[in-house]
Chains A and B, each alone.
Chain A
Amino acid sequence: MTAQLALSQLLNGLQLGVLLFLLAAGLTLVFGIMSFVNLAHGSLYMLGAYFGAAAFAHTESFLLAVVAAVVGAGIVGLLLDRFALTSLYQRDHLDQVLATFGLILFFNELIRIIWGPSSVFMQAPEALSSTVDIFGFTYPSYRLAIIGVGIAVALGLYLLIQKTRVGMLIRAGATHANMVAALGINIKWLNTWVFALGAALAGLAGVMAGPIVSVQPGMGEPVLILTLVVIIIGGLGSIRGAFLAALIVGVVDTLGRAFMPTLMRTLFERSTADAAGPALASMLIYLFMAVVLAVKPQGLFPASTSVTR
């Protein structure tokens, strides 16, 4: 193993991490602030990818694809919040899980009816479709762009939540919803916008992932599971936690996959190692989550104030 290989695997981990962050940010806000379990978050990711692919097919412009994905997913989020989910906020978490699981099935079928069961075409913009040389190894420039976008969004969210009036209201609404309402703020609308923001970020994640993964019905589910792991490790409702946990999960998962099988081969004979290595590598983040849950049930980086309903 060379230093270049290790570095390129680290970049791979970071790239997976920031993509997970885009999803986790919205999910953790909705989870932490509205105490709402939204399993359909993965569907918004899928919708983002499809909106992006459709816009790309018509305009050949990746920028417009991104706009279509973000705005489209945001609008779907807005409509979902207003019409489908509004009566669920006061209900039990189990009801929310069931209802949003139903939404997953609904959206998968809807996408299949509109776009068919096959993957649809989506590619990276021309300018980012090659590789760049960093310290003597080549790395796909599109993946670097994802890292850049992810960090920019993280920074933007930090400023929004910590430095603006809206951010202050969001933070206040999370802990003292009644007090904020008493001060004349329409907390329902605030929550709606938070939900739409989360949806738009999921849409952004979807369109950014489009050139890397297969855009097909059901593409949101595997990534949703990783996202749930991220917000559990990071601590519910914490953007900072989501960011750091996403990077940790991305890097741990990638390095595990990259080096675990080789490591196993030095410890066991080849056939055993080939069987156990990949299995263990894919379990690594779940083991990590289990340890975090056992040691720090609030997550590694919980939101600064405790969230109560």
Chain B
Amino acid sequence: MHKLVIALIAAGCVSGAAFAQTAPLKIGFVAELSGPQAPLGQDQFDALMLLIEQNGGKLGGVPVQIIKEDSQLKPDVANQVVDKLLEKDKVQIITGVTFSNVMMAVHKKITDKGVFLIGSNAGPSPIAGAQCSPYFFSTSWQNDNQAEVVGKFASDKGYKNVIAMAPNYQAGKDFVSGFKRTFKGGTVTDEIYTPLNQQDFSAELAQVASKKPDALYIFYPGGLGVNFVKQFQQAGLNKSITVMSTSTVDGSTLPALRDAALGMLSGTFWGPDFPNEANQKFVAAFEKKYNRIPSQYAAQSYDAAQLLDSAIRKVKGKIDDKKAFHAALKAADFKSIRGNFKFGSNQFPVQDMYMFDVAKDSKGRVSLRTVAKPLVNHVDAYAASCVMKAL
């Protein structure tokens, strides 16, 4: 009898151990998944799931369970879903986060808990600078980068007279100031800020047409960009004015714009036409699974998944050893689909920034084509003010 009990307990221990082996590693995913900006969050999610599916449900050889939460572009909702992920699901890793205001609302809460946050979109300046944390890594960019590359491009082109247009809110002003930071040799003759909910730009376009600038710099994300580009093209201005943009003509808006966007320029870190092998494989797999060209938001998230994959593999799934896991993340030992990739002192990417134009790809679809690489190994302007704490 006594022996039997011991045998039962032993069996229990074995099965318990076996259970611990198979219990998947929980990873929280937070993004905008409803409302007008949902295409961005959806692309982030789809790319993350693509890599996990390619790896047979695993990251770094460990089975993972993704707990998906919609932050609805509302900081208060984001706070609630993050509380749930931290307190109820007890996740050790959270990835995603689409918008900067959401990021600002949840960043401190997550990193203070010692939970790793792998941001795959928003890169607001405080997090790159004074509020940087060892628990935060970005696989996208610091917000200003995408404007700085356009400013540098405009300088290289020798544009003298540029008008800047953006929605009248913080990000709009940040992008315009980022553009001005690197735009040398010419002047921004006018800055036009439109209300965030304004759908029709006819009045502003008539103003722009009458001023005849060399080029226009715009930041109109999502549906606003669709409105702007359609109306710009219908007004016949695409024949006379060069449009340089940030987050306006990208994978999320081009399917709705098609030929209307041809010739427009966009600055960012990655394009679907990058020839490196990792990227070609990613683009082909994404198109096969989701039947659309991946956007930069998908690319950022795929690299976040690859980063996690590499780091979890390095520590053999033991992410409780935070020091080792941090070192494994910092090493960024994976083949980024953007080519050059390493983390700077503030754990944001140090990377090349490119310009793209909208053109037909080899299959006749409207997509982004690489035209220039204005910034090489670019470090963001806030890294200097980040004093990174040791873990």
Contact = CB atoms under 8 A, between A and B. Distances in A.
Given A215-B256, A278-B168, A9 B226 contact: no
Nearest to B225: A214
B227 interface: yes
Contact of A216 (B34, B204, B223): B223
B256 to A, nearest CB: 4
A5 B206 contact: yes
B223 A211 contact: no
A245 to B, nearest CB: 18
A117 B38 contact: yes
A121 interface: yes
A121 B255 contact: yes
Contacts of A119: 222-223, 226, 253, 255-256
A123 B202 contact: no
A65 B318 CA distance: 58
A184 interface: no
Contacts of A130: 236
Given A120-B256, A278-B193, A223 B234 contact: no
A307 interface: no
A14 to B, nearest CB: 11
B192 interface: yes
B36 interface: yes
Contact of A278 (B194, B252, B253): B194
Interface in B153-210: 168, 191-195, 197-200, 202-204, 206-207, 209-210
Contacts of A13: 203
Contacts of A282: 195, 198
B257 interface: yes
Majority-rule SS of B interface residues? helix
Interface string A120-155: 111110000111000000111011000000000000
Contact of B206 (A9, A117, A212): A9
Residue among B200, B231, B235, B257 with the most chain A CB within 10 A? B200
A76 interface: no
Contacts of A84: none
Interface in A155-212: 211-212
A125 to B, nearest CB: 12
Interface stretch (A86-94, A235-243, A253-261, A296-304): A253-261
Interface residues of B, number: 42
A187 to B, nearest CB: 37
B322 interface: no
Interface string B322-345: 000000000000000000000000
Nearest to A216: B223
Contacts of B35: 117, 217-218
A231 interface: no
Contacts of B192: 261, 278
Contacts of B255: 118-119, 121
B375 interface: no
Contact of B203 (A121, A131, A258, A279): A258
Contacts of A35: none
Contact of A140 (B194, B203, B234): B234
A15 interface: yes
Contacts of B230: 123, 211-214
Given A213-B223, A213-B230, 14 more contacts: A12-B200, A15-B202, A118-B255, A118-B256, A121-B255, A131-B236, A212-B200, A214-B225, A214-B230, A218-B35, A254-B203, A257-B194, A257-B204, A258-B206
25 contacts: A112-B34, A116-B39, A117-B34, A121-B257, A121-B258, A122-B256, A123-B230, A131-B234, A138-B236, A143-B234, A212-B230, A212-B231, A213-B223, A213-B227, A213-B230, A214-B222, A214-B223, A214-B225, A216-B223, A216-B226, A257-B194, A257-B203, A257-B204, A278-B168, A278-B192
Interface of B: 34-36, 38-39, 42, 168, 191-195, 197-200, 202-204, 206-207, 209-210, 222-227, 230-231, 234-236, 252-253, 255-260
